[in-house]
Amino acid sequence: MNGAVYWFNGEIMPACEARVPVLDHGLLYGDGVFEGIRFYGGHAFRLDAHLDRLHRSAAAIRLTLPRDRHALAAAVADTIAAYGRPVGYLRLVATRGPGRLGLDPASCRQPNVFIIADELALVSESVRAQGARVVIASTRRIAPDALDPRIKSLNYLNHILARIEATSAGADEAILLNAWGHVAEGTADNVFVVRGGILLTPPATDGALEGITRAAVIELAGTSGIPWAERSLGAFDLYTAEECFLTGTGAELIPVREVDGRVMGACPGPVFRDLRAAFRGLVERETAMAERQSNHR
């Protein structure tokens, strides 16, 4: 198959043939959860961590997934194989399924699960090399006591409004603050800064998603001897940072060169360069390991 590939409830098909019922509550009300997953060398990166998060998100919204972990892992492998390219991006989505009009999901008897395999590039290669221009959005992150940021739900309107602000400002990305003025996250990525030689990132309690790439970067910082901490950050911390960068499954690692017109001390800075190299090494090692395990089956 050429172009995007779509797995829908067990069947592989071209994306142009895929159909989601108009009465699906995932479409009508954003009632569902998802994961974005990168694959390298034909193998999904940190799939177990993604499936763990998917199941936690589903449990939090009382959505019973119609397929177990083994079946979902097999579906991911089938979708990658059908896509036919070694590197790409997957969107794994579970919706509440079709039901009657109205918010009550009681009439939704059968969830839908689908996987899309395609390319995804959040920024250009020149931005990756030179650094992203970022603005702080006026749109605030939904408070954790209203919607826990650890739930990776289909309700992304909050982030879309911030993304519109970035586009209108001619910026590459927007960063959302929470109701108390603390940095939460980007529209599709986690935020890191370096201050006083220490790598800092906002905690989930400030509205940050517990990102898979974020966790990998923290892990790599520990093994590389880079001091790090979760800490509440404000706009001032971004404006005066020695370095700033973004992480995410779609983003991977992107350096930031300016925030609201304030130029970073270094871009890409030494901490970012070290972590980017370490991340690439991690991907290579885990991909090679997955390939060996696949060959031994």
Q: What are the residue ranges spanned by the domains of the chain?
A: 5-118, 125-283
Measured distance CA(143)–CA(170) in Å, rounded = 27
Q: Is 296's pLDDT higher than 80?
A: no
Does the pTM exceed 0.75? Answer: yes
Measured distance CA(61)–CA(58) in Å, rounded = 5
Strands 112-118 and 243-248: unpaired
Q: Is 18's pLDDT higher than 90?
A: no
Binning pLDDT at 50, 70 and 90, where does residue 297 land?
A: low
Biggest alpha carbon–alpha carbon distance for the chain: 56
Please give the average per-residue pLDDT across 152-176, as a whole number: 97
Strands 5-8 and 112-118: antiparallel
Mean model confidence pLDDT for the chain: 95
Q: What is the pLDDT of residue 122?
A: 83
Q: What is the pLDDT of residue 2?
A: 57
Query: What is the tens place of the pLDDT at every residue in 194-228?
Result: 999 999 999 999 999 999 999 999 999 999 999 99
Provide the sign of the torsion angle of the four alpha carbons 54, 184, 174, 220, taken in this order: negative
Query: What is the tens place of the pLDDT at every residue in 223-248?
Result: 999 999 999 999 999 999 999 999 99
Note the CATH architecture for domain 5-118: 2-Layer Sandwich (3.30)
Q: What is the pLDDT of residue 290?
A: 87
Pick the CATH number of 125-283 from 3.50.50.60, 3.30.565.10, 3.20.10.10, 1.10.287.110: 3.20.10.10
Binning pLDDT at 50, 70 and 90, where does residue 1 land?
A: very low
CA atoms within 13 A on the CB side of 31: 23
Measured distance CA(169)–CA(202) in Å, rounded = 24
Asked which of 125-129, 154-158, 188-192 is least confident by mean pLDDT, the reply is 125-129
Measured distance CA(100)–CA(107) in Å, rounded = 6
Whole-Å CA distances, 48 to 73, 105, 132, 147, 294 = 8, 28, 30, 24, 15
Catalytic residues: 152
Measured distance CA(233)–CA(202) in Å, rounded = 6
Query: What is the tens place of the pLDDT at every residue in 105-141?
Result: 999 999 999 999 999 888 889 999 999 999 999 999 9
- Note whether 140 and 178 are within 8 A (CB): yes
Binning pLDDT at 50, 70 and 90, where does residue 51 land?
A: very high
